[in-house]
Structure 1
Amino acid sequence: MKDFKFSNTGKKLTSSIIRELLKDVSIPGMISFGGGVPDPSTFPRYELSEITQKVIEEEFSYSLQYGPTEGDDVLKKAYIEYLKKNEGIKGLSTENLLITVGSQSALFLLSLVLLDKDSKYFVSKPVYLGAASAFSMRSTNHIDLPLSENGIDTELLEKKLAELASSGEIKNVKFIYVIPNFHNPAGVTLSLERRKKLLELADKYDLLIVEDDPYGDLRYEGEAIPSMFKMAGKDRVLLLKTFSKVLSPGMRLGFVIGHEEFIRKLVLAKQAVDLCSPSLTQRIAGRFLQKYDLKELLKPTIDMYRKKKDLMLEELKKNFSDMQGVHWTKPQGGLFIWLTLPEGFDTMEMMDYGKKNGILFIPGAAFSIGGGCDNSMRLSFCLPPEKDIVEGVKRLKQTVLEYGKEKGLL
């Protein structure tokens, strides 16, 4: 059969560059600064193993059965207590939470219930590629907001919103999407001042803020900044959280926290998409939160990632400080550093040079819906051991020099 009659959406689907790069990780001698894959040594495998046995043997009638679309109340109640204790978020009920198959599922559900082909939405540039792929399946009418060390440009946001209001197009704007803590891919954090400004603008134009926070628990230095959800509440902000970076990505557990009416609409969409999230992993996670202090268990992980982050920053300085026009972000947490090369470099094209030298990275163009970021790349420091970080940055420098000289850029 030659003509499968794909839909317009089906025709636009392309493979994720990160998924493709994972195939190259297994090449002997290859060092990867690619995917944001947690270090497996951080998984609390013995604690989870003990809980899993009890959950399967003693709670099999729930854990091995279909579950409610909304999610397991045991996990929801435990997570509500976690948010109250660790983030000061109070007043939530189980009706304010939906448990999804990781954050990616939540992003896709959001696109289903919010976006039409003429809808507009604000994203950062660079943008998290999982959000970009989910949103652009429904609408490509994105509006980019450049990033600095303090997060998205709220002055430009204010200007753009005023223009949309004066042209009558503000009604088509559905949300402002932000990763406030240790941005993926840029590693930067939205300052308190800009969070307040963002909330002020959202109130003025009656807009929803989608606050995606996968990395907030992975802070290595500096003081934590209150979430916008805590500052403004469920009427203005929809908060996305996940266990993928702090407990286990294999459990595939994400959380959407918001107004009960909005959560109900997402539940209806989820019924059509995947019926329910896995009962087994939800119940295991729920019992885990009841028994253990996740924040306490994360301390060795944070120490490990802090050392790796500091080492990569040190090696970047050692190898690239003599190259004019090269700069990189200095994250206070999370998993990523954003490296920018001089104009004219194309990191997508440079990938083949990197593979030849045994180093993988994610080209900047992967983090743009409409193109751009060609001379940047995302570097992840969480998975490679320290000796590979040192060697990997050397290989990266070699790759940049080879490419730059061949293209007449150096």
Structure 2
Amino acid sequence: MTEKFSKIALRMKSNVIRELLKVTSKPGMISFGGGVPDPDTFPRFEMAEISKEILENEYKLTLQYGSTEGDPILREEYISLLKRESGIEGIDVDNLLVTVGSQSALDLISKILLDEDSIYFVSKPVYLGAASAFSLRSDRHVYMSLREDGADIDEVEQNLQEIENRGELNKVKFIYTISNFHNPAGVTMSLEKRKRLVEIANKYDVLIVEDDPYGDLRYEGKPIDPIFKIGGQERVLLLKTFSKILSPGLRLGIVVGNKTIVKKMVTAKQATDLCTPSLTQRIAARYLQRYDLLSQIEPTIALYREKKDLMLAELERSFGSMEGFHWTKPEGGLFIWFTLPEGFDTAEMLERGKAANILFVPGEAFSLDNTCNNSMRLSFCLPPREDIIEGVRRLKKIVVEYGKEKNLL
């Protein structure tokens, strides 16, 4: 039957994180794999009360089809949140689209912007959800190397200049970046780099897609202005989500941008899923009206800060004296990028990890060319504290065994 599949279907690959989630329920398994929030952070009692009220009193709307653009109350409330949170002004409901999580937004972006010969910029390593969505439409990606303060902007400008010199600048559709606490790398783009990226995008007339699912989960340091605030809606498309700060089960993402782009995404969404569920949108809308979301997530931030610090301390204890091992030290978000010496293959090591009841995501999952083989992504948000300690101990054991077997240690 494979001969019936489309070219896009043949390029599809299974998501390694979704596959890992299938084995997380194995007894004794410790998972540093998926960026799955700690369920104890979900405001379940508050949402239960809201759900009962809106099902009883607003059932004609919440149990019915909704507009493709999204719940108008939710969009109004989110505009207020953006102003209070980041000082973003000058937008109205027509600048916003509510999607079924951020992954849906990435898919819609690929549908409306990418042709087979389109060029787009992504980081290396790259968020695998974005890589999956974009690569189905075009394989003409340009990598941006990541530094401790974000993407290498000199490299971005040099590559754009080279593309312009060969007469293909019109094929460059966007620069995709996760500005805060990058997935999987954990790094944050500095304010200086954000300003310079906007300048370069203006110079070459390129759209910036700023994905910011983790910006509210800052544990140290001061917040940095979003690229969207610096560049404005004519230059930047901003993606936000409720998945990390309220509940991933709501499946709610927000796109903020130029009305022409948002309108085209609405048209694409009509062919994809008609509308985002009315029920979950109204739950989120009433939650925002009733509670101060930024204050409500303070206990979550405190919990994740403690877990992050614990994992960093355990990595230092286990690998700090070993030559060639290093890892990022994020100021927020959910992930640490752990790099081993050359020669280690974390994809090959994954089966050993499963046997030892410890899961991680191999680095090659975060590339478009099967590189990053000697790195892995570690998530600290879900495991209890004792599992973080035991999990790093198990991780060291399989790293040492593999290294000695391959004559790498």
Q: Fold match, TM over 0.5?
A: yes
> What is the CA–CA distance in structure 1 between the aligned matches of 2:197 and 2:137, rounded to whole Å?
25
Letter matched to residue 319 of structure 1: S
Look up the SS of the partner of 1:334 in the other structure. Answer: coil
1:72 aligned partner: 71
2:219 aligned partner: 220
> What is the CA–CA distance in structure 1 between the aligned matches of 2:364 and 2:47, rounded to whole Å?
38
2:235 aligned partner: 236
Gaps of 5+ in 2: none
Look up the SS of the partner of 2:146 in the other structure. Answer: strand
> What is the CA–CA distance in structure 2 between the aligned matches of 1:268 and 1:13, rounded to whole Å?
24
Shift of 1:73: 0.1
Alignment of 1:38-187 (within 5 A): 38-187=37-186
Letter matched to residue 6 of structure 1: F
> What is the CA–CA distance in structure 2 between the aligned matches of 1:24 and 1:249, rounded to whole Å?
20
> What is the CA–CA distance in structure 2 between the aligned matches of 1:344 and 1:12, rounded to whole Å?
28
Look up the SS of the partner of 2:26 in the other structure. Answer: coil
Look up the SS of the partner of 2:286 in the other structure. Answer: helix
Shift of 1:14: 1.6
Shift of 1:371: 2.0
Q: Deviations over 1:272-312 (max 9, x none)?
A: 00000000000110011001000011000000000000000
> What is the CA–CA distance in structure 1 between the aligned matches of 2:163 and 2:3, rounded to whole Å?
40
> What is the CA–CA distance in structure 2 between the aligned matches of 1:90 and 1:262, rounded to whole Å?
18
> What is the CA–CA distance in structure 1 between the aligned matches of 2:227 and 2:20, rounded to whole Å?
34
1:325 aligned partner: 324
Shift of 1:11: 1.4
Shift of 1:393: 0.4
2:373 aligned partner: 374
* TM-score scaled by length of structure 2: 0.99
Q: Deviations over 1:358-409 (max 9, x none)?
A: 1100000000012210000000000000000000001000010011111111
Shift of 1:189: 0.1
> What is the CA–CA distance in structure 2 between the aligned matches of 1:89 and 1:97, rounded to whole Å?
13
Q: Deviations over 1:149-198 (max 9, x none)?
A: 11111011111011111111111100000000000000000011111110
C-alpha RMSD of the superposition: 0.7
Alignment of 1:251-400 (within 5 A): 251-400=250-399
Alpha-carbon distance change, 85 to 3 in structure 1, aligned in 2, over 3 angstroms: closer
Identity of aligned residues (%): 63
> What is the CA–CA distance in structure 1 between the aligned matches of 2:2 and 2:392, rounded to whole Å?
46
1:191 aligned partner: 190
Shift of 1:232: 1.5
Alpha-carbon distance change, 30 to 258 in structure 1, aligned in 2, over 3 angstroms: same
Compare 83-92 and 328-337 and name the one that shifted more: 83-92
> What is the CA–CA distance in structure 1 between the aligned matches of 2:81 and 2:92, rounded to whole Å?
13
> What is the CA–CA distance in structure 1 between the aligned matches of 2:252 and 2:382, rounded to whole Å?
20
Compare 9-18 and 55-64 and name the one that shifted more: 9-18
Look up the SS of the partner of 1:24 in the other structure. Answer: coil
Shift of 1:86: 1.1
Letter matched to residue 349 of structure 2: M
Letter matched to residue 242 of structure 1: T
Shift of 1:322: 1.4
Letter matched to residue 159 of structure 1: Q
> What is the CA–CA distance in structure 2 between the aligned matches of 1:371 and 1:157, rounded to whole Å?
21
Look up the SS of the partner of 1:332 in the other structure. Answer: coil
> What is the CA–CA distance in structure 2 between the aligned matches of 1:145 and 1:228, rounded to whole Å?
17
Letter matched to residue 114 of structure 1: L
Shift of 1:4: 5.8
Shift of 1:55: 0.7
Alpha-carbon distance change, 10 to 210 in structure 1, aligned in 2, over 3 angstroms: same
> What is the CA–CA distance in structure 2 between the aligned matches of 1:62 and 1:83, rounded to whole Å?
25
Give the count of matched residue pairs: 409
Compare 106-115 and 82-91 and name the one that shifted more: 82-91
Shift of 1:3: 5.2
2:5 aligned partner: 6
Look up the SS of the partner of 1:142 in the other structure. Answer: strand
Letter matched to residue 52 of structure 2: Q
Alpha-carbon distance change, 160 to 4 in structure 1, aligned in 2, over 3 angstroms: closer
> What is the CA–CA distance in structure 2 between the aligned matches of 1:339 and 1:3, rounded to whole Å?
38
* TM-score scaled by length of structure 1: 0.99
